[in-house]
Structure 1
């Protein structure tokens, strides 16, 4: 097979073509015009999809290059955790000799401790300001990309070091992982997310105790990181034995009850607590329903609802608190209270009147969030249906779609008109939306 086809596919970033060519017999370590294997082209371009395809198809991440490096070394120096993961390959702890593993760890640690910008200056001899931009390193997390003296690197070496340690089964001290996470002070930075992921995988009592000890740190970032790890435990329980669901719920209740001075941290405590089914959650919510910070009050409604099926009737104190929050001065608080009132399915006229009022709220954000919850609700009253009809002229496509879907679910006589007023259903970002599918199906059946 002509090598130029694979080189061209790699250069244009066509991972599907790369996979097809490899399956057809292309050599995975094909050398490009610069004398380097095509994997190095993908590494230099930060094209993780192509790198995955090449390594999965047999490209050698440990191949010695003329300058003494390897594609894996180049990926580490490039500072992209996503690229390093793609090039690291299978079972690196078994594949690589101990000396090579130590060399890779030392390289990542050197870049991290010196700092990507300073290392870039040393390597280029250019001591001017580096060009900086914020880029997404994967689908969820960002990193700073720096360019100086014709070279480009990303500042994700803390995350790379964390990933390498875990891949080589080295249990880094919890203090080190926490320090790497909070250094950037941004939860969607690669260093933060990598530390959270590794700690989420380490389910020993020692790790749990070391992480949760930071909940009393004077630095709010430390406390926010603890909450992020606890939330990760809840989202991805590894087993009943070490899920820490009960321990997490107890800790959060104590945290909220004992007091938290930082409103942002307190709001996060309540948010994560709402993901648990603790019998004192409603008491915690009631305690903070009148908090001066609106982003704290906005977390309260979710704490008021029982996880039981069917839900038991709301207590008088909870009912009263939700109704007060539904009239809050902050629109986000009103929206969350409205969603809780709908989920409670109380059926009372006072709840319905409040919900209808929120569907007509002056704030578009309230109308958008509440109609989303109302659309699938069991309330079939004329007042709610009329409020849905009134939302068909909203500027927001999602609000119009939810209003039409709600009428469809109620078999309302104006469903056809409502779907027409939504506008073209092939709206970008809604290609696989169940509400759009329901509208298409309704139109098809009506035309038969």
Structure 2
């Protein structure tokens, strides 16, 4: 686009971009000098309009990195009040009051940023995004206003959708506040009677476990996360929340995870069982070799026959990544022709990590090359390549031309790597990086 040079034209174009939720155009105009704080004839500013528009991505773009010293205290207060009023009243209710429109609103979930979505509401000829909770949270953080932990938890847990912008913003701020007081108040909500709040706190623990936001006390927080998760697993009664706890335990280095997995393998809810295999998929140390105990192998075989496809897929991915025993070989044919395609793909991914294969497995992989699914054919060809099977060139020929979505896929250059290992005059590495 051609950026306007006149300040009035630039602000008018910026307001149009805000109204259209065109983040790319808004950023280009800001870089060209459009003023987000310019007072408009109605007394608003482009930044205030972005705040009221309910898109945290747009509001953050106009807020910039120096908002607190740039904006007078009164203007900061006006922005906070606007976001809070829209959030507390509700975007749809506020829009209905402003427009006087009757009848149902048109609500569609849209992507607001790379990792978050938000409801977009159209009513009475006006459109708004219902992300004011996230906008308020972002403004508070930018203006150094420490919202009560209970309020942040309430915002984050308001929607059950894990990708909701309000949830993401609350998680970010709680993870950025590294004090023991904030941590203690947040994790205390694992005892809250509302399962939505408990599910939100599972993610609070996971964010801290990942250690994205601080390093000074990483060791202490890791121990705290591990302790809390182990205690929580024993206490949790809601299947949905328990599944989240088990998922988090699958990312933690907790010696008790195998015992927990064996105990939960027979849980009546598939949403719990599908996280059990992940508890067995770990290495005690960086230089250790994973060895599945006989009890774990038996549990995985049972889960590979589960009525739920998600459970079968998770179990197959772990069990297939081990050197097969006789009982495993009896399972593989059924897993590789399972009616759920995810089971087949997870089985192939597991088999692709085993470099020493038995002939029975190689024959099963060759049969997969006749699949109508290119993803299955590619997975089978890659498994043959890592096993240095002489049929690898023919296997990749059956895969067929790969589309741009496979660019960077480690399986796509399996033939090249096979030729290199076997000194078959490979062409230049398709991905030298």
Deviations 1:295-326 (A, max 9, x none): 21221112124422322533332233223223
Cα shift at 1:161: 0.3
1:320 aligns with 2:295: no
**Paired position in structure 2 for 1:48:** 23
1:412 maps to which of 377, 389, 393: 389
The aligned counterpart of 2:307 is: 329
Distance 1:381 1:346, change over 3 A: closer
Equivalent residue in structure 2 for 1:193, among 168, 188, 197: 168
**2:280 equivalent in structure 1:** 304
**Structure 1 residues 150 and 326: CA distance shift in structure 2, 3 A:** closer
Q: How does 1:348-427 map to 2 (within 5 A)?
A: 348-355=325-332, 357-426=334-403
Paired residue for 2:240?
264
Alignment partner for residue 319 of structure 2, among 341, 346, 353? Answer: 341
Aligned equivalents of 2:259, 2:83: Cα separation in 1: 48
Correspondence for 1:94 among 59, 65, 69: 69
- May I ask how many residue pairs the two structures share in their alignment? 420
1:294 aligns with 2:259: no
Q: Secondary structure at the match of 1:146?
A: strand
In the superposition, the TM-score normalised over structure 1's length comes to 0.87
* Cα offset, 1:355, TM superposition: 4.0
Q: Which residue does the alignment assign to 1:21?
A: none
| Larger displacement relative to structure 2 (67-76 or 347-356) | 347-356
CA distance in 1, matches of 2:415, 2:355: 19
CA distance in 1, matches of 2:393, 2:117: 44
| 1:81 equivalenced with 2:81 (yes/no) | no
CA 232–190 in structure 1, closer or farther in 2 if over 3 Å, else same = same
Whole-Å Cα distance in 1 between the matches of residues 376 and 209 of structure 2?
A: 31
Which residues in structure 2 correspond to 1:272-291 (within 5 Å)?
272-291=248-267
TM-score, structure 2 as length reference: 0.89
Q: Deviations over 1:28-66 (max 9, x none)?
A: 84616xxx4322222111011222233244332111222
1:434 has 2:406 as partner? no
Whole-angstrom CA distance in 2 between matches of 1:84 and 1:392: 50
Q: CA deviation at 1:283?
A: 1.1
CA distance in 1 between counterparts of 2:66 and 2:15 reads 21
Query: How far did residue 267 of structure 1 move?
Result: 1.1
Matched, 1:6 2:3: yes
Q: Is 1:68–2:43 an aligned residue pair?
A: yes
Which deviates further from its counterpart, 188-197 or 297-306? 297-306
The 1-side partners of 2:106 and 2:339 are apart by: 44
Task: State whether residues 44 and 78 of structure 1, in contact with CA within 8 Å, keep that contact through their aligned partners in structure 2.
Answer: yes
Q: CA deviation at 1:362?
A: 4.7
Shift of 1:445: 5.2
Contact persistence 2:274–2:311 (CA under 8 A): yes
Distance in 2 separating the partners of 1:447 and 1:156 = 51
Alpha-carbon separation, structure 2, partners of 1:199 and 1:111: 22
Q: Distance in 1 between matches of 2:333 and 2:31?
A: 55
Asked if residue 144 in structure 1 is aligned to residue 122 in structure 2, the reply is: no
Structure 2 portions without partners, runs of 5+ = 429-433
For 1:359 and 1:438, locate their aligned partners in 2 and report how far apart those are by CA, in whole Å. 20
Once residues 278 and 317 of structure 1 are traced to their aligned partners in structure 2, the CA distance between those partners, rounded to angstroms, is 18
Whether the aligned pair in 2 keeps the contact of 1:29 and 1:39 (CA below 8 Å) is: no
Task: Pick closer, same or farther for the CA change 1:118–1:322 going to 2, 3 Å.
Answer: closer
RMSD of Structure 2 on Structure 1 (CA):
2.4
The question of whether the paired residues in 2 share the 8 Å contact of 1:28 and 1:57 is answered with no
- When structure 1 is superposed on structure 2, of 129-138 and 84-93 the one drifting more is 129-138
Residues 96-105 or 378-387, more deviating = 378-387
Partner of 1:117: 92
- Give the whole-Å Cα distance in 1 for the aligned partners of 2:364 and 2:6: 61
SS at match of 2:119: strand
Sort the Cα spacing of 1:312 and 1:425 in 2 relative to 1 into closer, same or farther, 3 A. Answer: closer
Partner of 1:39: 14
For residues 147-296 of structure 1, what are the structure 2 equivalents within 5 Å?
147-237=122-212, 238-242=214-218, 244-258=221-235, 260-296=236-272
